[in-house]
Amino acid sequence: MGQVKICGLRQAAHVEAAVHAGARFLGFNFFPRSPRCVTAAQAAALMADVPPGVASVGLFVDPDDALLQETLALAPLDMIQLHGHEAPARVSEVKQLTGLPVIKAIGVAAPDDLDALWDYGLVADMLLVDAKPPRDAVLPGGNGLAFDWRLLSGRKMLKPWLLAGGLTAQNVAEAIRLTGAQGVDVSSGVETAPGQKDSDLIRDFIAAADGGT
């Protein structure tokens, strides 16, 4: 099975559905303006029964040191996802500060955006290749928008990576086929409304991703 990350989990039933269906990464969102945001205490409760082998990932947007430390004091995350404008040097700092592996999200809309994959590949432990948010977007991710997957076709990456952006059970197998992704990440595509995850959609997505890898 390929690696699936279900991002923006807020309810225990959805965590359970994702784990039972075979998700390898669970994303807990600490960006205050997101409809998927959880507190550190809520994330800790959601993570309590996550089995070994499934990584709990904390998603942050340009976090300062205090937010990372305060969150980790309550929620024993396995990985940090940086989804803002963090420079490569900040990725290295966050790794050192937290002692955790870092996933860096890279927004892609055009060929020029791919240069960042190399720069961040030198410092991050994993890359998350997402659609670049439109200029007027409120959220830097989780917008349910796809990009032209053909941009990634045949591309060599320095680190393991996940494909994200507008993925659903209906399109994920084709996205994997076109990009060669070893893993995928989804948020909106397993929701009935922003922030409202659905267990059936989670199961359908993971089964479809498995069929594509």
Ligand X SMILES: O=C(O)c1ccccc1NCC(=O)[C@H](O)[C@H](O)COP(=O)(O)O
Task: Name residue 161's beta-bridge partners.
Answer: 127
Rounded Cα distance, 96 and 37, in Å: 25
Asked if 189 and 168 count as a contact pair (C-beta separation under 8 A), the reply is: yes
Is 27 among the residues that bind ligand X (CB under 6 A)? yes
Minimal distance, residue 78 CB to ligand X, in Å: 15
Is 183 among the residues that bind ligand X (CB under 6 A)? no
* Minimum CB distance to ligand X smaller for 58 or for 141: 141
Task: Name residue 183's beta-bridge partners.
Answer: 3
- Strand 196-197 relative to strand 191-193: parallel, antiparallel, unpaired? antiparallel
Q: Among residue numbers 66 through 125, which ones bind ligand X (CB under 6 A)? A: 83
Pick from 22, 76, 144, 212: which binds ligand X (CB under 6 A)?
144
Please measure the distance between the N-terminal and C-terminal CA atoms of the chain and give it in whole angstroms. Answer: 6
Rounded Cα distance, 97 and 80, in Å: 11
Q: Judged by CB under 6 A, which stretch of 31-39, 46-54, 89-97, 205-213 contacts ligand X? A: 31-39
* Cβ count within 10 A of residue 135: 5
Q: Judged by CB under 6 A, which stretch of 43-51, 62-70, 160-168, 173-181 contacts ligand X? A: 160-168
| Phi/psi of residue 190, nearest 5 degrees | -120, 30
Two structure tokens written together for 10: 């807020």
Minimal distance, residue 101 CB to ligand X, in Å: 16
Residue nearest to ligand X (CB): 142
At residue 104, the 3 state secondary structure works out as strand
* Cβ count within 10 A of residue 33: 9
Q: Judged by CB under 6 A, which stretch of 70-78, 141-149, 153-161, 169-177 contacts ligand X? A: 141-149
Is 186 among the residues that bind ligand X (CB under 6 A)? yes
Find the helix or strand (DSSP H, E) in which 29 lies: strand 25-29
Q: Judged by CB under 6 A, which stretch of 13-21, 85-93, 108-116, 165-173 contacts ligand X? A: 165-173
Is 25 among the residues that bind ligand X (CB under 6 A)? no
Whether 112 is catalytic is no
Whether 37 is catalytic is no
Q: By CB under 6 A, name the binding residues for ligand X.
A: 7-8, 27, 29, 31, 34, 36, 59, 61, 83, 130, 139-145, 164-167, 185-189
Active site amino acids? 7, 130
